[in-house]
């Protein structure tokens, strides 16, 4: 899954951070400001938290940036190479057993329970919309798990992840590896726990995801380009209100009662801890987690941190 990468290369070199600690406060401040300027010129929306110890740059990431979106990832690479540390998304610890379980029992994730069909769960209005999409795309979603139907609508019918450039996390990870900048995941989750959660989820829990995916697909492909354009124009409310972004944010794991709150808590904790460290910390955070109501930015602001950047 794009939101939960399987593996990270965690660098263990401390030299950049030590060097920053030996700089004078004036030099360190000038250097951090220069990094912020370079990062902002990339075109990705970002927020800055400055403390007496150092600076934290929060890059608001959206998944599947269209190639036509006019952003400058090389400038984000340049900022990454001069940061002291990097924080990226959740690390999923997946074992061979998890993969085998998915192969042999994956039908429990892709289909509705035996003997049940979509009409057993959806009201007449939802069924009419789903059947209209089935006719439009020559598909049969009647027995398919609603989460899988939503993914099919977004990825194959709306094609939101076709002809895309690297995401911000891909750009930062590659640059950090090349420059040997220490990286850390914001947290870890076991593949076994993820699968247990998905297998245990009742079909009803994915209806909101299906609703949002149907709305995005009905809105048409123009919303894909509009989302990318709003992102590079730092129009965060427009990104968050885009039907595609709403759909991605209303599907597992973001809205799951077990994973969703924990993912957000991990980000708040990691960013808060980074504000006490010297030099520059660059964190790539899903925009929906940052800018949603009562999200990471709201929680950090509520803790008294001064945050500069686009309105959210």
Residue 29 within any structural domain of the chain: yes
What is the bridge-based pairing of β-strands 279-286 and 85-88?
Answer: parallel
Helix (H, G, I), strand (E, B) or coil at 189: strand
Model pLDDT, residue 144:
96
Work out the average pLDDT over 144-164: 95
| Angle of helix 124-137 versus helix 207-219 axis, rounded to 10 | 50
User: In the beta sheet, which residues pair with residue 61?
Assistant: 286
Q: Which of 9-13, 73-77, 185-189 has the weakest average pLDDT?
A: 9-13
Residue 65 within any structural domain of the chain: yes
Q: Which of 24-28, 135-139, 188-192 has the weakest average pLDDT?
A: 24-28
**Pick from 264, 311, 132, 111: nearest CA to 199:** 111
**Owning domain of residue 43:** 15-308
Residue 3 within any structural domain of the chain: no
> How confident is the prediction for the chain on average, in pLDDT?
87
DSSP 99-145: HHHHHHHTHHHHBPSTT--GGGTS-HHHHHHHHHHHHHHT---TTB-
Top pLDDT among 10 and 286 is at 286
User: With bands split at pLDDT 50, 70 and 90, how would you rate the model's confidence at 214?
Assistant: very high
DSSP 49-98: EE-SSEEEEEEEE-SS-BTTS---HHHHHHHHTT-SEEEESPEEE--HHH
Model pLDDT, residue 30:
67
Helix (H, G, I), strand (E, B) or coil at 257: coil
Q: Do residues 259 and 186 touch, judged by C-beta distance below 8 A?
A: no
Task: Kindly tell me if the per-residue pLDDT of 154 is higher than 50.
Answer: yes
Query: Could you give the number of structural domains in the chain?
Result: 1
Work out the average pLDDT over 119-146: 97
User: What percent of the chain clears pLDDT 90, i.e. is strictly above it?
Assistant: 68
User: What percent of the chain clears pLDDT 70, i.e. is strictly above it?
Assistant: 90
Residue 5 within any structural domain of the chain: no
Residue 8 within any structural domain of the chain: no
Total residue count of the chain as it appears in this document: 312
Model pLDDT, residue 216:
98
Residue 4 within any structural domain of the chain: no
Residue 10 within any structural domain of the chain: no
Give pLDDT tens digits for 44-84.
999 999 998 999 999 999 999 999 888 999 999 999 999 99
Residue 19 within any structural domain of the chain: yes
């Amino acid at each position: 899954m794009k939101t939960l990468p399987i593996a990270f290369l965690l660098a263990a070199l401390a030299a950049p951070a030590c060097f920053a600690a030996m700089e004078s406060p004036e030099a360190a401040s000038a250097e951090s400001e220069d990094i912020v300027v370079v990062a902002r010129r990339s075109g990705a929306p970002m927020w800055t938290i400055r403390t007496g110890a150092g600076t934290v740059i929060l890059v608001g990431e959206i998944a599947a940036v269209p190639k036509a979106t006019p952003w400058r990832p090389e400038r984000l690479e340049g900022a990454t190479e001069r940061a002291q540390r990097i924080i990226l998304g959740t690390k999923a610890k997946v074992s061979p057993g998890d993969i085998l379980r998915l192969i042999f029992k994956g039908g429990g994730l892709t289909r509705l329970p035996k003997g049940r069909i979509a009409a057993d769960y959806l009201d007449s209005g939802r069924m009419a919309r789903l059947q209209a999409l089935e006719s439009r795309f020559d598909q049969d979603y009647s027995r398919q798990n609603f989460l899988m139907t939503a993914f099919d609508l977004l990825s194959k019918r709306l094609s939101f992840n076709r002809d895309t450039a690297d995401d911000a996390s891909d750009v930062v990870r590659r640059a950090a590896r090349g420059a040997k900048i220490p990286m850390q995941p914001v947290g870890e989750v076991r593949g076994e726990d993820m699968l247990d959660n998905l297998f245990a989820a009742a079909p009803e829990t994915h209806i909101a995801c299906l609703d949002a995916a149907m709305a995005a697909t009905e809105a048409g492909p123009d919303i894909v380009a509009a989302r990318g354009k709003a992102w590079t124009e730092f129009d965060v409310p427009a990104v968050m209100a885009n039907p595609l972004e709403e759909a991605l944010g209303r599907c597992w794991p973001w809205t799951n009662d077990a994973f969703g709150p924990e993912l957000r808590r991990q980000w708040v904790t990691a960013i808060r801890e980074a504000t006490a460290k010297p030099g520059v910390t660059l964190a790539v955070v899903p925009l929906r987690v940052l800018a949603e109501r009562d999200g990471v930015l709201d929680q950090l602001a509520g803790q008294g941190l001064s945050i500069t950047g686009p309105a959210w």
